[in-house]
A and B are shown apart, each in its own frame.
Chain A
Amino acid sequence: MAHNQFKIADKLAPLLRGLSSLKLTVALLTALLILVFVCTLDQVNMGIFYAKKKYFETLFVNWHPTPKIRIPVFPGGVLIGTLLTLNLLVAHFTRFKWTLKKSGIWLTHIGLLILIIGSGLSSALSEESQLPLNEGQSRNYSINYEESELAVIVQPSETQQIVTAIPASMLHKGRKITHESLPFSIEVTDFFPNAELQILPDRNPLSPVNRGAGPRLNVMPLPLFTRDNLRNFTTAYLELFQNGQSLGVWLVSSGLETPQPVFLNGAYYWLIMRPKRTYTPYSLTLLAFSQERYTGTDTPKSYASRVRINDPKSHETRETVISMNNPLRYKGSTYYQASFANEGKTSVLQVVQNPSWPIPYIACTMIAVGLLLHFAILLSQSLKRRPTP
């Protein structure tokens, strides 16, 4: 038995040595540097959102000679981050000694570990969306234009809406969806991550659609746009079934902005593909948007939105101002003044929910203090060794 253990340790030793080596550290940091460099250059071709996905939120950076084939050509951010974490952990457990002289290094490296883990957490947990508001408009949801959802809406009364939303990421050709709140099942006949819709003078003979707004439309599939300012129109053909009986085929697309009715059991179910919404138990109303410019120029000096928070649950109704560098934090969400549209009639707020936000603050403080400590120790040693003449 002891013999066996010895063997395992024997085999593990070179592996551990390799994992803890400074050569690996240097190689990984160099890989990360190259990754950051290429990602920066590639932002000429694609928006930051997709550049992040392509280079960092992935195990490998893939090369696509054709849309179907992908060949991993370089380690992605996730892989490098994981290996760096391992490298650091193993090095500290095997090579490092805990001495006061090394305290700065320890602090820096622990901070780094927390930072790497925190950035993983943040990309998993944080959600970014937008809240465009016209003056006088209220909304109890924010909108994520990067993602779509299929919503089925029932309106039992004037003031009430029941929404069943299915993320577009769950839709693909052949997928069948049933949900307890829906009296019908949905089968995805076809799905296009991005498409252009063309209106034909007559019914489209090629289209399987026979209900709603779709029969006269032609769907032109497009590759996904990756630039920040181009929107993708998520499009799908849906066939609805009730008790195995087909109710017809609908065309839904985020390019179609009005919901389409399905009349069933004496009630209307409205179908719509739309940018993903995140609902909040409170609403925000834009009272006024103001922008100030430097006199005699077009350079904006400041933007500000005066909004009213209306929270029926906590009986809170108050007014507040959101401006540049002065966000509103309310119940886990933070609202930032991002931009404006519509010649200043629409204010666009950026909404962020990120429960892991304090992590980088803690981690970076540790790293900065660690570096300072370590370099101070190095400096005092070198001064001791060679006193100034």
Chain B
Amino acid sequence: MTRRTRLVYLFLGLAIAAGFILWPLHTPLKSPAWKTLGELPVKEAGRIKPLDSVARNTLLSLSGRQTLPGPNGTLSALEWLMAANITPEEADTWPVFLIRNNPPLLSFLSLETTGKSRFSFRELAPKLTAIEEQAKLAQTLESYQRSPFQRSVITLHQQLTRYLQLKNSFGLGDNFPFTQTILRYDKLMPAAEKALTNSAELTQTEAENLRQLFVLLQVSEYLHQTALILPIPPNPPFAKEWETMGGAMINAFRTHRMNPALFAWSDFIEKYQSGNETVWSPAISAYQEWLSSRYPAIARKAALEAVFNRLEPFYSAMLLYVLAAVLIVIGWAGAGRFLLPLAYSVGGVTFLIHTASLGFRIWLLGRPPVTNLYSSAIFVGWIAVLLGLLLEKRLKNGIILLAGCITGSITLLIAHHLATMGETMEVMQAVLDSNFWLSTHVITITIGYAGAIVAGTTAILYILLGIFTRKLTPELKKSLTGLIFGTLCFTLFFAFVGTVLGGIWADQSWGRFWGWDPKENGALMIVLWVAIVLHARLGGLIRKKGLVLMTVFGNMVVAFSWFGVNMLGVGLHSYGFMERGVFWLSTFMISQVVILLIGILPHRK
């Protein structure tokens, strides 16, 4: 290939990838004012993030989607968040709460058991007390003792609580003119001062002002206890931490110093209630300007995260990996020699996007790339594609890159679905809060997973090529099994070192090198399995076909170690029980068994 054709392919790949990546931006935001609102930094679940992230994550965790079908077209998560706070009587009727295939729960809620899967708060509200009672009862049991009904009622209770907390973030709807009273705070205060020195001489207006202040304080306390979002940035030395609206108001009473941000938010919400964008948009721009001058770094970070949310680059990368894989397969089928280089180019450019997005997450969180199950899926995909690209340089037949792209797209798909469980950038539990061990143990073990899966996917391709095509020549057999063997060696090294580093972390933190914790066992099982395969090959117990079949079985070992043990709900490593995960894991296991059975069949001659 000449240098010029190579450049042409590169540009084609770039153009395709850029199209995919920028596609989400074409959906118009309602207006610049909504963009500004979405980019405003707030604190929620212990992390500073744009309001847009709060809206998306909360809506995802309640309804499994990032948008909502509204009365007049699709609503963004942010619009839903604002409506839930400002016009709750309307938002309460929107179908938000996802209850999937759960007849016992639905009949308990006296809801229709057929047809729709999302229900509005209004539909659930009559059963609020009953749900709370059931959830409390279920919580007295250990998680493994709970019935599916009890588990789902606990989830629903958590979701309802989250929704109520969300609604209490910026006021109480129409029940009490919270923000309006905050705005009149300066006018109300003199009455309080006077009452403290000389209570007998209050005029009627002053007495009324005093009453309003009293109610404001009560409401503030209530909102402080129940709000989800902390929108008010610190105002040292009077306030050192981010605060809820209510908390900031109480602080204003205590310190006689109103946080300018509290005033700005109240002003914005008062104007937002008019429902007229031209009225509230100057308020939000003014606050954003003030914030950018006061906390430039925080404001910039939040704004970038909001853009990142809109781009959803991992989702685009998933689609692009699928595209690259399809191009390779069509190229093999003989539909044009130009498709393979184009596939390399698309795969390579997508890998760069994948890398940049991973880098962005690292910068945003100040954490190593893998901090939870979601990010482990993203990282496994990244390593798999990296391996595919590096090894492709040696083999140059597209097979290993195809394996990399398939693994990349599937792991990103898994990540996409894991993200529907809610926040993907949550704060670290105290036990896990160690960047050093996160970046050594977790990374190496995850590289081990990736190696095993790339080997396993290559083995699957080997089987499929042998059964369905005549392309599996003896030379290809040799080079593929050699490749699988090499990748298994790579896997053994990283899985072993990762497991050992985990042991060292455990020894440093709990005083035991090895505790037979399920996740440790899972990692050990990968090491053992690869060791078995390598020894069986060395002893001549298996040849090429045996190696390939055993490597496919390794996929199941990895799946158990990576996801299966988390579903057991025991030990320090369990991230919570994943109902739907069990279904998908079982499906995966069955698919691998089917491939193993196909693999036993004789090859086409």
Contact = CB atoms under 8 A, between A and B. Distances in A.
Contact of A367 (B244, B496, B507): B496
A40 B526 CA distance: 14
Contacts of B578: none
Interface in A176-225: none
Interface stretch (A3-11, A41-49, A249-257, A313-321): A41-49
Contacts of A29: 528, 531-532, 535
Interface in A27-42: 29-30, 32-33, 36-37, 39-41
B528 A43 contact: no
B513 A350 contact: no
A379 B507 CA distance: 34
A30 B433 contact: no
Nearest to B538: A22
Nearest to A230: B142
Interface in A346-361: 350-352, 354, 357, 360-361
A48 B572 CA distance: 11
Contact of A23 (B490, B496, B541, B569): B541
B512 A352 contact: yes
A39 B142 CA distance: 20
B496 A368 contact: yes
Contacts of A289: none
A271 to B, nearest CB: 33
A36 to B, nearest CB: 5
Contacts of B538: 22
B568 interface: yes
A371 B43 contact: no
A99 interface: no
A269 interface: no
A35 to B, nearest CB: 10
Interface in B485-529: 486, 489-490, 492-493, 496-497, 500, 503-504, 507-518, 521-522, 524-525, 528-529
Given A119-B514, A296-B44, A324-B431, A379 B486 contact: yes
Interface stretch (A145-153, A166-174, A297-305): A297-305
A378 interface: yes
Interface residues of A, number: 57
B500 A364 contact: yes
B375 to A, nearest CB: 17
B493 A368 contact: yes
B254 interface: no
Interface string A132-148: 00000000000000000
Counting chain B CB atoms within 10 Å of each CB, which of A44, A325, A327, A372 scores highest?
A325
A325 B435 CA distance: 11
Given A295-B43, A324-B430, A378 B489 contact: yes
B540 to A, nearest CB: 8
Contact of A43 (B45, B490, B568): B568
A122 interface: yes
Nearest to B47: A294
Contacts of A51: 516
B497 A36 contact: no
A243 interface: no
B397 to A, nearest CB: 13
A300 B230 contact: no
Contacts of A364: 500, 503-504
B241 interface: yes
B230 A295 contact: yes
Contact of A354 (B429, B430, B511): B511
A375 B534 CA distance: 12
Nearest to B227: A296
Main secondary structure of the interface of B (DSSP, over half): helix
A40 B568 contact: yes
Contacts of B431: 324-325
B466 to A, nearest CB: 23
Contacts of A122: 513
Given A350-B510, A364-B503, A26 B541 contact: yes
Contact of B516 (A48, A128, A367): A48
A324 to B, nearest CB: 5
A375 B507 CA distance: 28
A229 B144 CA distance: 13
A26 B516 contact: no
A140 to B, nearest CB: 19
Given A295-B43, A302-B430, A367-B496, A39 B529 contact: no
A97 B144 CA distance: 52
Contacts of B521: 36-37, 39-40
B429 A371 contact: no
A325 B509 contact: yes
B528 A36 contact: yes
B516 A56 contact: yes
A336 B515 CA distance: 15
B242 A295 contact: yes
A201 to B, nearest CB: 30
B536 interface: yes
A22 B437 CA distance: 36
A161 interface: no
B571 interface: yes
A364 B496 CA distance: 9
B511 A336 contact: yes
Given A21-B539, A26-B535, A36-B528, A297 B510 contact: no
A368 B539 contact: no
A299 B513 contact: no
A151 B244 CA distance: 55
B470 interface: no
B512 A128 contact: yes
B419 interface: no
B394 interface: yes
Contacts of A21: 539
A375 B493 CA distance: 9
A301 B430 CA distance: 5
Counting chain A CB atoms within 10 Å of each CB, which of B394, B430, B492, B568 scores highest?
B430
A39 B516 CA distance: 8
Given A44-B570, A48-B517, A382-B482, A36 B433 contact: no
Contact of A301 (B427, B496, B532, B571): B427
B570 A371 contact: no
Interface in A227-268: 229
B565 interface: yes
A23 B510 CA distance: 38
Interface in A362-381: 364, 367-368, 371-372, 375, 378-379
A371 B492 contact: yes
Given A360-B503, A364-B503, A41 B482 contact: no
A361 B504 contact: yes
Interface in A331-349: 334, 336, 338
Contacts of A324: 430-431, 433, 509
Counting chain A CB atoms within 10 Å of each CB, which of B486, B503, B516 scores highest?
B516
Nearest to B431: A324
A296 B507 CA distance: 32
Contacts of B517: 48
A92 interface: no
Interface string A283-309: 000000000001111011111000000
B551 to A, nearest CB: 15
11 contacts: A44-B144, A128-B511, A295-B241, A296-B230, A324-B433, A327-B511, A334-B511, A361-B504, A364-B500, A371-B492, A382-B482
Given A33-B525, A44-B569, A382-B482, 8 more contacts: A22-B536, A33-B532, A40-B565, A43-B571, A48-B517, A295-B43, A302-B433, A379-B486
Interface of B: 43-47, 142, 144, 230, 241-242, 244, 394, 426-427, 429-431, 433-434, 437, 482, 486, 489-490, 492-493, 496-497, 500, 503-504, 507-518, 521-522, 524-525, 528-529, 531-532, 535-536, 538-539, 541, 560, 565, 568-571
Across the A-B interface, the 5 shortest Cβ-Cβ residue pairs? A294-B46, A22-B539, A352-B511, A364-B500, A40-B521
